[in-house]
Amino acid sequence: MKALICKEPGVFEYQDIDKPILSEGQAIIKIERIGICGTDLHAFEGTQPFFSYPRILGHELAGELVEFDGPGHFKKGDKVTFVPYFPCGSCIACRMGKINCCINIRGAGVHIDGGMTELISVPVKSLVMGNGLDPDILALVEPFSISTHAVNKAEIQKGEYVLVTGAGPIGLAAMEMAGIAGGRIISMDVIEQRLAFCRDVLGIEYVINASKDPEETIKEITGGDWPTVIIDATGNKDSIMKSFSMLAHGGRIVMLGIQRDEICFSHPEFHKRETTLMSSRNALKTEFDYVVKCMRDKLLRVSSYITHKTKFTRLKDEFPRLLDPANGVIKAIVEMDL
């Protein structure tokens, strides 16, 4: 069985590895599609903070259920995806039901090997039924679930102004999910091509270039109130710190992106707003199921996100190209061709 292993930053190698053995409570999936996400790109760059090498990447996956051991409504041949983070079940977070931020969590493609391979073994309880979704779409359930978790934490009320900073795939998905939740979306980025996507494809009401003194524009849009919710999907230190001064009094900030450095802010400015600051990590099984429902109900423009496709056997050489902003990548999908 062939796998694509990231040996160190910027270095990939194909290797033959042992096929997974079906064990109790496990399922084996034949991989058909792999989504390339920021985690994969940061791993390739050497900037992913939870990462170690060598590692088989890949956690945005869709495939066919080959075998499984355990109860459930699945059958062989079903098209499935899965929740790619595996909690310990016993730590304080797990005991509170917050298994997405388990102390001992093992994320596929990050802490343990992922799905850039022919077959993968996962717990049956992590399986998510595809419900007729096209494999390209099914592979993107995970990133939309990540964004859904952040939106759920924000507890958006109908009519609230929601500023989403960062129009990468996770930010774009957050805009759509926040819109479904009833928010009035303000999109902000520095890349005009992505802002055009927000405006022309997603139909975002307000689109702002962050490099052009956005504060006055945001203040005007909100009638001087400022956004009551800010979701940062940039993972950029400066962007995160600027968010604190653009938030309404009584507002909430959700940090969806992640970066390696420390952040700081003015305590008086933070305090006088009675700011609520949250981070958002991973997603829950219920959020995966909700995203599948939204996709089936055609509430999301998922296919528009897919700007690049490649074959698994070409991925080793094409991966660096996906990092280049000049190529206009929003989402790349890998088709298995072994």
Distances (CA, A) of 115 to 48, 57, 63, 78: 18, 6, 10, 18
**Crossing angle of helices 192-200 and 169-180, rounded to 10°:** 30
For residues 121 and 73, what is the distance between their CA atoms, to the nearest angstrom? 18
Q: Would you place residue 50 in the very low, low, confident or very high pLDDT band (cuts 50, 70, 90)?
A: confident
Q: pLDDT tens across 231-266, in order?
A: 999 989 999 999 999 999 999 999 999 887 899 999
Respond yes or no on whether the N-terminal peptide bond of residue 54 is cis (omega within 30° of 0): yes
Helix (H, G, I), strand (E, B) or coil at 61: strand
Q: Outline where DSSP puts E strands in the chain.
A: 2-8, 11-16, 26-36, 55-56, 60-68, 79-82, 85-86, 106-107, 119-123, 127-129, 161-165, 184-189, 206-209, 229-232, 252-255, 276-279, 306-311, 331-335
Q: pLDDT tens across 110-147, in order?
A: 999 999 999 999 999 999 999 999 999 999 999 999 99
Helix (H, G, I), strand (E, B) or coil at 51: coil
Look up the pTM and report it.
0.95
Q: Token pair for residue 204?
A: 């975002």
For residues 23 and 27, what is the distance between their CA atoms, to the nearest angstrom? 8
Q: What is the DSSP letter of 18?
A: P
Cβ–Cβ contacts within 10 Å for residue 11, how many? Answer: 12
| Mean predicted confidence (pLDDT) in 171-199 | 97
Domains and CATH numbers, the chain: 2-139+301-335 (3.90.180.10), 149-279 (3.40.50.720)
